[in-house]
Amino acid sequence: MDEIRTVIAEHDDSLRRSMERYLCRTDDIRVVGSTGDGGAVLSLLRQTRPHVLLIDPAFPGRDGPELLRRIRREPGLRIIVTTGNTRGAVTERPVPLRVCYVLAKPLALASLEEYIRLAMVEEEQPEGRRLAVERRVALALRELGARAGRRRYLYTFHAVCAAVEQPQLLSDGVTRAVYPLVAGKCGASVPAVKQGVRSLWEWLWEKGDREALERYLPAAVCGRDFRPGSSAFVGALARQLREDCRMWG
């Protein structure tokens, strides 16, 4: 695919212009339409036929979930929701609404372009197993309290996905085997990936959902008085998700 055709539907004019300017600098993403009017979204999609829609459904005077339900009927469309209310009704059921990702505002624009590309890769993969892994990892991180939209989330997401899909990597060590894969995928250095995962894990340990931490991580990790290392976190979460038969259901 030569380019990823993208439409932006955002009621914040300043943010919408910033997104347009940033994405127009990329080599493989082309903004083919942009609107700040919730009533114009469907007609714009039918005129431009994009691959990806970036949308904050909370337009003034509009029913966000209903707007998404109408949008999902558009064939072949990947939807990325951007929102300042990650616990609102719009984001309660992202998978049935064919939403690939829910990104919390304020957005890191560098991460936004990565999610656009990731949405395309996800849709182009025919294997149901890989799609199930990505959906399940994203759900687990969300329940733990992580919010997509920053590079530290992206690094952690890819690290856990790699460890779930290739469990043999864990025997070689997360730092030695997993982080180099993530660095190559994200175009980053291994130290940057390691620091990003550590940063998110520190935040989850201090401010994440404690009930979810206890549910996803074994007592050997979560039951300590001190915070385990980020490698232990990635390995433990990946092992737990592999054991979760619902992932393959």
Per-residue pLDDT of the chain (249 residues; tens, 9 = 90+): 579 999 999 999 999 999 999 999 999 999 999 999 999 999 999 999 999 999 999 898 888 888 888 888 888 898 988 887 655 544 444 444 567 777 778 777 877 887 788 777 654 455 556 776 887 788 789 889 998 878 999 999 999 999 998 989 998 899 999 999 999 999 999 999 999 999 999 999 999 988 888 878 877 677 777 888 999 999 999 988 877 533 333
pLDDT for position 249: 35
Q: Residue 84 is encoded by which pair of tokens?
A: 């300042």
Residue with tokens 């998978």: 95
> CB within 8 A of 46, min separation 6: which ones?
74
Residue 152: closest CA among 96, 117, 192, 181 = 192
Residues of 220-234 as b/e, b for ≥16 C-beta within 10 angstroms? ebbeeeebbebbbbb
pLDDT for position 248: 36
pLDDT for position 113: 83
Rounded CA-CA distance 176/128 in Å is 28
Rounded CA-CA distance 123/100 in Å is 9
Residue 37: closest CA among 13, 15, 53, 20 = 13
Rounded CA-CA distance 8/244 in Å is 36
Q: Residue 25 is encoded by which pair of tokens?
A: 């600098």
pLDDT for position 109: 82
